[in-house]
Amino acid sequence: MALLRRKRKGDHRYYLLPGMGRSNRRHRRRVKAAAIIFGLVVSILFALLIYLWQKPY
């Protein structure tokens, strides 16, 4: 049935809303990377704290 279907004129149109541009994607990628690094550092410090607290003498 694809032969009988006509393409509409606006099928390939799209609109960027505020915050959907390239610079926003770069910013979000940078924020995500910083959040992951920060989470890893905090979890390592917390694990080290627990290890030192529970360490047998």
What does the chain come to in residues? 57
Whole-model pTM over 0.75: no
pLDDT given for residue 19 in this prediction? 75
pLDDT given for residue 53 in this prediction? 94
How far is Cα 5 from Cα 46, in angstroms, rounded to an integer?
61
Across residues 11-39, what is the average pLDDT? 86
